[in-house]
Amino acid sequence: MTQPKSDPNSDTVDAVILVGGQGTRLRPLTLSAAKPMLPTAGVPFLEHMLSRIHAAGMTHVVLGTSYKAQTFAEYFGDGSAFGLDIEYVVEDEPLGTGGAIRNVADRLRADTAVIFNGDILSGLDLTALLATHRHLAADVTLHLVEVADARAFGSVPTDPDGRVTAFLEKTEHPPTNQINAGCYVFKRSVLEAIPAGRVVSVERETFPGLLESGAVLAGHVDSTYWLDLGTPAAFVTGSADLVRGVAPTAALPGPVGDALILDGASVAATASVIGGSTVGRGVVIEAGAVVDGSVIFDGARVDRDARITRSVIGSDARIGADSIVDDAVIGDRALVGARCELRSGIRVWPDVNLPAGSVRFSTDG
Ligand code: GDD
Ligand code: MG
């Protein structure tokens, strides 16, 4: 890993990553792995995020875990292999985003903490975020981005000085398309004032409460690259953007390009792997197959002339000859027979065996 850029303030800042969510929108992939541990452009998604934190010069990282808590420590250990000092805090019952933040308070070493949602791919300049926080002498500074439709996010209006004026989590009529991008700087004293030992939503309780009490919440707008990888469509987009070098990372296990073929994969000469696809270890792609903008997990097999677009194929799954898989999620070890057609957001559960010629479309929109 490259040497961190020296930001004079970064070693006085703790990084906290919230990774305790169940990733329900990514099922069935998240039945076997937590969302931040899903292989994304060749490594667990979280490794890309940690590479950005390392590059900004932060070294002390606390992971707030709950769902599949042990899998994080198994992979990242004490963090030294990644140039970091990583600690883990486990919630027996999920405490919500605010509860999870409060729950790590006794591990903090500095007076300032940067909190990250663990499913965000972002080009945010962390040094600039910290500079805004200090410049506005804020209690909390929120990274904000513009999206086309804010209904699935926290809508965050600001005044001309960059002060946050309201926080509205997932409302039908958001007042602005400027949204909470899922990265905050907290003064430690403000973080410690979150109630301990119970479920708290930072979005629904802490931020509105702070605004009510007159605290200074600053907005820091940065729109270089931003994506929440919480849905299958976003997951394949984010992975492809990492492979193609559109999304920033220092953890790509190969050169930037149109495809990432990992060690031990075999791709037939007449097969085509394009659009930022990742082909995992031990995968076999047979002659004439097309894999476009997709993620093929380790050990899967794509038979001849099958066509996979914008999809995720789980570990050790098999896609039969001449099948079409478009905008779909195929669970681990599932067997899709020859000449099947799977489209429009369909999800095939692990170990399912689809007979040849099956046609499936999603009905859940
Ligand atoms: N430790 C812990 N405990 N982590 C949690 C818990 C919990 O109980 N609940 C959620 N998390 C983590 C998730 O793992 C994820 O990394 C992060 O908190 C946010 O949860 P999501 O479930 O991904 O929330 P969201 O995407 O619907 O909305 C959030 O992110 C949007 C930006 O992508 C909100 O913060 C929105 O306001 C924001 O706009
Ligand atoms: Mg999310």
Distance 24 CA to ligand 1 centre (A): 11
Closest among 204, 224, 44, 3 to 126, alpha carbons compared = 224
143 plus 61 within the same structural domain: yes
Identify whether 2 is part of a domain: no
Sign (positive/negative) of CA torsion 176, 181, 185, 188? positive
Total domains in the fold of the chain: 2
Identify whether 250 is part of a domain: no
215 plus 270 within the same structural domain: no
Residue nearest to atom 10 of ligand 1 (CA): 21
Identify whether 249 is part of a domain: no
160 plus 307 within the same structural domain: no
99 plus 177 within the same structural domain: yes
158 plus 114 within the same structural domain: yes
Identify whether 3 is part of a domain: no
As a whole number of angstroms, the distance between CA 189 and CA 326 comes to: 49
Do the beta carbons of residue 322 and residue 339 sit within 8 Å? yes
| Per-residue confidence (pLDDT) for residue 150, from 0 to 100 | 97
Distance 102 CA to ligand 1 centre (A): 15
CB of 10 within 6 A of ligand 1: the answer is no
As a whole number of angstroms, the distance between CA 360 and CA 334 comes to: 14
As a whole number of angstroms, the distance between CA 54 and CA 61 comes to: 10
Indicate the residue among 228, 250, 281 that finishes a domain.
Answer: 228
212 plus 280 within the same structural domain: no
Atom of ligand 1 nearest to the CA of 19: 14
24 plus 147 within the same structural domain: yes
Identify whether 247 is part of a domain: no
Identify whether 246 is part of a domain: no
Identify whether 73 is part of a domain: yes
Indicate the residue among 180, 208, 228 that finishes a domain.
Answer: 228
CB of 168 within 6 A of ligand 1: the answer is no
CB of 100 within 6 A of ligand 1: the answer is yes
184 plus 277 within the same structural domain: no
CB of 117 within 6 A of ligand 1: the answer is yes
CATH code for the domain of 135: 3.90.550.10
| Per-residue confidence (pLDDT) for residue 364, from 0 to 100 | 62
Give percent helix, percent strand, percent coil of the chain, each to the nearest 5: 25, 30, 45
Q: What is the pLDDT along the chain (365 residues), one digit of tens a residue?
A: 444 444 445 558 999 999 999 999 999 999 989 999 999 999 999 999 999 999 999 999 999 999 999 999 999 999 999 999 999 999 999 999 999 999 999 999 999 999 999 999 999 999 999 999 999 999 999 999 999 999 999 999 999 999 999 999 999 999 999 999 999 999 999 999 999 999 999 999 999 999 999 999 999 999 899 999 999 999 999 999 999 999 999 999 999 999 999 999 999 999 999 999 999 999 999 999 999 999 999 999 999 999 999 999 999 999 999 999 999 999 999 999 999 999 999 999 999 999 999 999 987 64
- Measured between its terminal Cα atoms, the distance across the chain in Å is 42
Identify whether 74 is part of a domain: yes
104 plus 207 within the same structural domain: yes
- Omega before 28 cis (within 30°)? yes
CB of 299 within 6 A of ligand 1: the answer is no
262 plus 347 within the same structural domain: yes
As a whole number of angstroms, the distance between CA 171 and CA 280 comes to: 39
Indicate the residue among 178, 213, 228 that finishes a domain.
Answer: 228
30 plus 120 within the same structural domain: yes
Domain that includes residue 350, residue range? 258-363
Distance 228 CA to ligand 2 centre (A): 5
Whether pTM exceeds 0.85: yes
Q: Tell me the per-residue pLDDT of 98-115, one tens digit each, with 9 for 90 and over.
A: 999 999 999 999 999 999
CATH code for the domain of 335: 2.160.10.10
220 plus 81 within the same structural domain: yes
Which positions ≥6 away from 219 have C-beta within 8 Å?
141, 142, 144, 156, 158, 162, 163, 164, 178
